[in-house]
Structure 1
Amino acid sequence: MAEYAKYSKASPQWTQFVASQPLLTDLDRVGIVERKRTFIEIEFQIPVRDVPDDITSKAVTVTEFTIPARDGYALPVRSYVPTTARPDGSPRPLLIYLHAGGFLFGDLDSGDLNCRVLAVRLNISVLNVGYRLAPKWPFPTGVNDSYDATAWAGKNAESHLAASPSAGFLVGGISSGANFAGVIAYTARDAGLSPPITGLFVSIPVCIMPQAYAAAPPEWTEKHLLSLEQNAENPLLTRKSLTDIQELYGCPPEDTRISFLLNKGHSGLPGRAYFQICGRDPLRDEAFLWQKLLKEYSGTKSKIHVYSGQPHGFWRFLQMEVSRGWLDDVVEGIAFLIQGEEPVHETEMVVKA
């Protein structure tokens, strides 16, 4: 969307950081696996995110187990249950957490700290899902696993997770995990999942594959979906790498189980959503578009954190101040999803410099 083009201008924090990291230039010369190795090499040069003092083994019970996927596969999951009751004695909400990784990478450890922090600070139960990865397990295995875990949790939350989905049933994740959350929202609606999903955590989501733009309404591609070109050379996620991911994931780009913006209807979806959107991300405008569709057709109330001048997934690089504050933003956003009172504004957008 033209109104969001101003967020493409590189942040001074990012400019200073990337100047010290020549490995981040010309990443399109290598394949997606080599790109991942480059990111790991850079991350080895910086300290890992510290575990906050309040996130202790006494504060949360962590349990790893498996649940059956639809094909009988033993799907690994990890639950996080606070050891203290909620201060007001109310039932504990539940979050299904879906890690990032471009459909190709990641595991239960990828989001482990995030899950611990969210469980303790918000006193919610969290189920971290180790969905299967492409190319060994191509589309739609990963998203099917994620939906199966969500449906299982809805039925077994009280007995296995010390939570009550009727108090708040949240699904969310980062990048590919956010894509799964979007697909799950439509799938759960169509399947009549009960209790219904009440909130979505969508961080830098893939909403429509570039190869599916031709199937979108012309108004979208002419007026709204402009960031794919504006940010085509984003150092962390480029237009070319999206194509590489699509080929390895093996998804038909127009399938609504990947390009969920192409669903014919956008009504009946969860009532609250928390978005994280990066200004220099080629995916920026599809996230803004989905937020508007949710508001128009489902009456969804949203909180949005926009990271101006930052590329897709910048927060892995803790040299930047904005990266060090990112996890606090996640806590604030998911708190919005479970708060009891009605928000003052239908959409609250906070721009992070």
Structure 2
Amino acid sequence: MRRPVLDRLDPRARPLVDALTRAFPDLGGAVTDAAEARRILAAAPASRKVPPAVGAVVDRTVPGPPGAPEIPVRLYVPDQDRHPAEPRPTVVFFHGGGYTLCGLDSHDATARALAARSGAVVVSVAYRLAPEHRFPAAVDDAYAALCWAAEESPALGGDPGAIVTAGDSSGGGLAAAVSLRARDEGGPAIASQVLLYPLLDAAQDTRSYRENAHGYFLTAAHLRWFWRQYLGADGRGAHPHASPLRAPDLRGLPPAYVLTAGCDPLRDEGLAYAARLRAAGRRVTTAHCPRMFHGFLGFPELLPDAVRALAGAAEAIESTGGGRKNSGGSGGGAG
């Protein structure tokens, strides 16, 4: 197991990173097939953690893009006793996994935590995965699910003026991409976006890609493999819906909460996107955890930084309400 010479990781996180590294498929090395990688992950022992309690969980499908199948989603309704106020924000959440792995079950705890902490309705979306369905299939599914959630928000107890796009890693990239689409295609109106160590640029040429290329669970080699699965041979990585950081104009986008981790190859693209949103006149709250790794949000029972980051994301969601608190303006954030 290759570790960096100067380990910048929080000592509490190092045992987790080493265990994850042993368990995670050697993508592009010993494991080259996405289906095999999914089988390896599915065979991993189930977590014994007690998931955060919510009022109700409902699995269903919603209409997909024209000519595409329906999209599985999982609805999380907060506990009415803890969060009695309605209408409430509606969060459309996209899971990570490099556009290739994971799904509703792998991100159940994160979606539950956001619903339980914020009092929002969370719609977790199982978009089509690569390489079977390459770009822009995931973006098309994500946008279709967003349109459904916005239309159905009142029936879900939500405020149609408080729609939030959210996601981690590649899901954060989808949350940013559908915000661009909604701006450019006439809606639906999005009040805020919550981007959790987002994947935003296919260029893979930042300093953090070099500094965190190995030794911190997610590697630069993993990310190269994920992008190959997602984009295929013909590329199109420069398209703004694949690489939102490359969008020529970020004006008119929703305010954002952007979380980054210091020991993550994706660190610099998240920081750059937050800076560009601010330069475009949008309010941005940033949270930076310098000694954390990509994926640390999954371990709030072990990592205080994960607890604080989830609380920050939930606060950003809870404060969303028809643009009353988060509309426009430039702003800074605490990191």
Q: TM-score, normalised by structure 2?
A: 0.83
Contact 1:8–1:308 at 8 Å: present in 2 too? no
Shift of 1:298: 3.1
Higher helix fraction: Structure 1 or Structure 2?
Answer: 1
| 1:159-198 map, 5 Å | 159=155, 161-166=156-161, 168-194=162-188, 196-198=189-191
Quick one: structure 1 residues 248 and 25, their matched pair in 2 at CA, closer, same or farther if it must change by over 3 Å? closer
Contact 2:289–2:305 at 8 Å: present in 1 too? no
Question: For 2:37 and 2:64, how far apart are their aligned partners in 1?
Answer: 31
Quick one: structure 1 residues 23 and 35, their matched pair in 2 at CA, closer, same or farther if it must change by over 3 Å? farther
Q: Does 1:337 align with 2:320?
A: no
Question: For 2:78 and 2:223, how far apart are their aligned partners in 1?
Answer: 38
Q: Tell me the equivalent position of 2:118.
A: 122
Contact 2:63–2:69 at 8 Å: present in 1 too? yes
Q: Partner of 2:165: helix, strand, or coil?
A: strand
Quick one: structure 1 residues 39 and 298, their matched pair in 2 at CA, closer, same or farther if it must change by over 3 Å? farther
Quick one: structure 1 residues 309 and 26, their matched pair in 2 at CA, closer, same or farther if it must change by over 3 Å? farther
Shift of 1:325: 5.8
Aligned CA-pair RMSD: 3.1
Question: For 1:253 and 1:277, how far apart are their aligned partners in 2?
Answer: 22
Quick one: structure 1 residues 87 and 152, their matched pair in 2 at CA, closer, same or farther if it must change by over 3 Å? closer
Shift of 1:91: 1.7
Query: Alpha-carbon deviations, 1:202-229, whole Å to 9, x = none?
Result: 1111111136x5xxxxxxxxxxx32111
| 1:1-353 map, 5 Å | 9-18=8-17, 23=22, 27=26, 29-31=29-31, 33=34, 44=45, 48-52=48-52, 55=53, 59-70=54-65, 71-82=67-78, 84=80, 89-159=85-155, 161-166=156-161, 168-194=162-188, 196-210=189-203, 225-250=206-231, 251-271=235-255, 273-302=256-285, 304-316=286-298, 321-322=302-303, 326=306, 329-339=309-319, 346-350=331-335
Q: Which runs of 5+ in 1 are unaligned?
A: 1-6, 214-224
Quick one: structure 1 residues 247 and 20, their matched pair in 2 at CA, closer, same or farther if it must change by over 3 Å? closer
Q: Partner of 1:210: helix, strand, or coil?
A: coil
Contact 1:234–1:282 at 8 Å: present in 2 too? no
Quick one: structure 1 residues 78 and 87, their matched pair in 2 at CA, closer, same or farther if it must change by over 3 Å? closer
Instruction: Identify the range of structure 1 (253-262 vs 144-153) with the bigger mean alpha-carbon deviation.
Output: 253-262
Matched letter for residue 10 of structure 2: S
Question: For 1:290 and 1:284, how far apart are their aligned partners in 2?
Answer: 10
Alignment length (residue pairs): 317
Matched letter for residue 174 of structure 2: F
**Identity of aligned pairs, percent?**
26
Contact 1:269–1:298 at 8 Å: present in 2 too? no
Question: For 1:263 and 1:285, how far apart are their aligned partners in 2?
Answer: 16
Quick one: structure 1 residues 295 and 337, their matched pair in 2 at CA, closer, same or farther if it must change by over 3 Å? farther
Quick one: structure 1 residues 236 and 164, their matched pair in 2 at CA, closer, same or farther if it must change by over 3 Å? same
Shift of 1:330: 1.6
Matched letter for residue 153 of structure 1: A
Q: Partner of 1:278: helix, strand, or coil?
A: strand
Quick one: structure 1 residues 334 and 77, their matched pair in 2 at CA, closer, same or farther if it must change by over 3 Å? same
Quick one: structure 1 residues 342 and 142, their matched pair in 2 at CA, closer, same or farther if it must change by over 3 Å? closer
Quick one: structure 1 residues 312 and 38, their matched pair in 2 at CA, closer, same or farther if it must change by over 3 Å? farther
Matched letter for residue 172 of structure 2: A
Q: Partner of 2:193: helix, strand, or coil?
A: strand
Matched letter for residue 239 of structure 2: D
Matched letter for residue 282 of structure 2: G
Shift of 1:338: 3.1
Contact 1:201–1:334 at 8 Å: present in 2 too? no
Q: Tell me the equivalent position of 2:3.
A: none
Q: Which runs of 5+ in 2 are unaligned?
A: 1-5
Query: Alpha-carbon deviations, 1:153-189, whole Å to 9, x = none?
Result: 1112112x221221x1100111110010111111111
Contact 2:169–2:197 at 8 Å: present in 1 too? yes
Contact 1:86–1:92 at 8 Å: present in 2 too? no
Contact 2:190–2:254 at 8 Å: present in 1 too? yes
